[in-house]
Amino acid sequence: MTIAVGVFELFTYAIPGSLYVALFTFIAARAHWIDLAAVLRSPSFLLVIAVVLLSYLLGYLAYPLGLLAHKILPERRNHAAIEEFLRRNPSAKDRPFVQADPFLLLAAIQLQDVEVGADASRVRATGLMLRNCAPPAFLGAVAAIVELFVGRSPVFAITCAVLFTVASIGLVVQGRRLTYWARLRTLEIAFWIPEIDDKFRP
């Protein structure tokens, strides 16, 4: 049996999930719920498998938190990919693919050429990864604030709290930007596939 993890799953779920694992491990070790030294003495192979599985599962379970962060943080700019695309390419105005659902359009491109469609998928997956990394960064800021009162390094705790807070906001902003680029990239690729219009004509 072959188990394959694609770029989309790795970026969207596993990498953000690994941040949750790191955060929860720090909290558990700091609260003396686990003996970190004993955990590190366990067989490396089993430890790696456990971390990978936990990262993947936590990435799936915490996916709604990334979506919530995207909705909560106000958006200062209206990133309309279609308007920007038509501004650059006015000749595409009457082509049916322009008004198609972006995910359906990407699926049509992948049916035509998997490798070409993979480029837009990679950018989209990177945007989702950044967005989904925002909640653990924010939780890290909360943990740093708690550490400010219970720890012995207040300067370090304040520095971490500020950095994690700024990072959580920046991750959402950059995630939005990459999602916008992915939609724009999808339209640009579709522009060079003349037969793709036939798939979206009524």
pLDDT in tens, 21-35: 999 999 999 888 988
- The rounded percent of the chain whose pLDDT value lies above 90 is 54
- The rounded percent of the chain whose pLDDT value lies above 70 is 95
Q: Is it the case that residue 1 has pLDDT exceeding 50? A: no
Predicted model pTM: 0.85
Q: Is it the case that residue 5 has pLDDT exceeding 90? A: no
- Among 37-46, 57-66, 89-98, the minimum mean pLDDT is found in 37-46
Q: Which residue has the higher pLDDT, 77 or 103?
A: 103
Residue 37, phi then psi, degrees to nearest 5: -65, -40
- The alpha carbon torsion through 125, 119, 200, 104 (nearest 10 deg) reads -20
